[in-house]
Structure 1
Amino acid sequence: MLVERGWSVTYRHKLWRLLARRIPLRPFPLSGPSAVASITFDDVPDSAVSVGAQLLGRSGAAGTFYIAAGTCEFQDRHWRVCSRDQIRDLTEGGHEVGCHTAHHVNVQSLGVEALARECDENARTILEITGYPLLNFAYPFGDLGLWQARYLVQRFQSCRTIYERINVGTIDLAKVGAIGLFDRTMTRDRLEDLVGAAVAAKGWLVFYTHDVGPEPTFMGTSPRLMELTLSVLADHGVPCVTMEAALRHHGYGEDRTAPSTGARSAEI
């Protein structure tokens, strides 16, 4: 399988990406009584589990970890990907495992049938490891196309992007916004502004990151920043929960049929 790296740059790919951003695919009104936050991890380096999940757990929080199971224990230039045992530890600790395709594939490089096979393979592997289904998706590299997004949002509760915005009002579940939680870009003042805005709008603030360590990569978070984020959320009374739990908080399943999951997610 040819795995396309990074964002697709051809004119055709750019056009499909633009259409995917502009055309509503699955509108969903957020109806929760208060703001909620989710901290998510893409690719899931082993430090996201050994450090990130531990920090969340100590604060009574839970996260969503988007895993491409076919890359488990793979060593790339930035980090080593988590192991199957660590994936099992996540669900046993009350965290959610999400889908990131099986081999971290740019979805724009796949037709719908090939994309379905990627998701099927990942689902089988994660179910074998944890006993739980995959309910939420994050686009590898943050790249998406119209037809791929349409398929994915029919299959999953939500599809998380890297489009930097707070989710307020009526959102598109195919294009859930997220803010990068990176040491190189995040400050206390910005955190306070983001959380304050989410509280005022009774919205859903989603963060995303990768590795967690004292000297994180440019896509990662230090323990200091992770603890600061959890502290600011707590100061504003905003719970930090999985994507699944945040969706339920905002009314997912009340006016539509939601999958019966059995997944372990922190309640609000």
Structure 2
Amino acid sequence: MTPQPYSADAGLGAKLRRRYARLVHRRPARLALTQPTVSFTFDDAPASAATAAAILERHQARGTYYLCAGLFDETGHMGRYINAAEAADLAGRGHEIGCHSHGHIDAHRAGEVALLADSERNVTRLTALGGSARHFAFPYGEVSPVAKARLADRYGSLRGVHAGLVRDGGDLNQLPAVGIEGDSGEAVARQWIDRAVETHAWLILFTHDVSDTPSPWGCTPAALDRLAAHARAAGCALKTVGEVLDR
């Protein structure tokens, strides 16, 4: 099933649910940062994001790819999605293969049984390709207290899409992240890199497709290159999510 353009529920109930989810089922991160750190992550991921791996490699960095095995070689509103061979190639080059859900299901709307079954199916397929599949990002950024509680036992971390920095004691079950997306994405990401430097914190950036004509959820190769260069010049370590947490 190919995910379609999605807008999160903006109703009062949804806003309260998201806020409440950030308060419960927390798991403190124990970080040992020796310098401000930036992780570049890619959601879904379109095939263009796989080709963008070479940009990070030029900066002696690797990315974290949160993949849906159920989307392999499907075509959606961001173009063709990565396939199994491309995912295996990324893993072989040292990039981290993490998990979305297998079918890009909404973790809030899915039933508990369906969510866990979908998760296990994705882990099985991605692990077979050489990926660690140890870290998870909520599709659409949609999370619920039940999803946090159930998935926490399966993954080393769960990542959301609410903007923020990660510091020691931050919530491993709902890590914040900043999107490199839209017309202002590069400028916003650069500002957050500077905040990470000022406060000696960990910043997780995410995007989707990476092309010269990106979707509203993606960025250009040039923007990705400039951000990686800026982070390096500002004194940041560039690490995958797993590399940061394994310390």
TM-score, scaled relative to structure 2: 0.91
Q: Which residue of 2 aligns with 1:254?
A: none
Q: Say which SS state the counterpart of residue 170 (structure 2) adopts.
A: strand
Q: What code does the residue aligned with 2:102 have?
A: A
Q: Is the 8 A contact 1:111 1:148 kept in 2?
A: no
Report matched runs for 1:242-253 at 5 Å: 242-249=240-247
CA contact (8 A) 1:181 1:207 kept: yes
Secondary structure of the structure 1 residue equivalent to 2:129: helix
Aligned partner of 2:210 in structure 1 is: 212
Give the aligned partner of residue 262 of structure 1.
none
Structure 1 residue 24: Cα displacement: 4.8
Percent identical pairs in the alignment equals 27
Superposed, 1:140-159 pairs within 5 Å as: 140-159=139-158
Opposite residue 86 of structure 1, the aligned amino acid is E
Matches within 5 A, 1:115-154: 115-130=115-130, 132-154=131-153
Write the distance in 1 (CA, Å) between the matches of 2:241 and 2:162.
Answer: 16
Q: TM-score, normalised by structure 1?
A: 0.84
Contact 2:148 2:173 in 1 (8 A): yes
The answer to whether structure 1 residue 202 and structure 2 residue 203 are counterparts is: no
CA apart distance, 1:77: 2.3
* Gaps in structure 2 of 5+ consecutive residues: none
8 A Cα contact 2:179 2:189, kept in partner: no
- Secondary structure of the 2:176 match is coil
- Three-state SS of the structure 1 residue aligned to 2:108 is helix
Q: 1:144 to 1:98 in 2, by over 3 A?
A: same
Which ranges in structure 1 are unaligned for 5 or more consecutive residues?
250-268
> CA offsets per residue over residues 187-235 of structure 1, 9 Å max, x none?
45x4443223212322111100000111111111101101110110110
> Which runs of at least 4 in structure 1 moved beyond 6 Å after TM superposition?
9-12
2:40 paired residue number: 39
183 and 55 in structure 1: CA distance in 2 versus 1, 3 angstrom threshold: farther
Counterpart in the other structure of 2:177: 178
Q: How many matched pairs? A: 245
Q: For residues 138 and 187 of structure 1, do their structure 2 counterparts lie closer, same or farther at Cα, with a shift above 3 Å needed? A: closer
Contact 1:99 1:122 in 2 (8 A): yes
The answer for the alignment partner of 1:97 in structure 2 is 97
What pairs up with 1:51-62 in 2 under 5 angstroms? Answer: 52-62=52-62
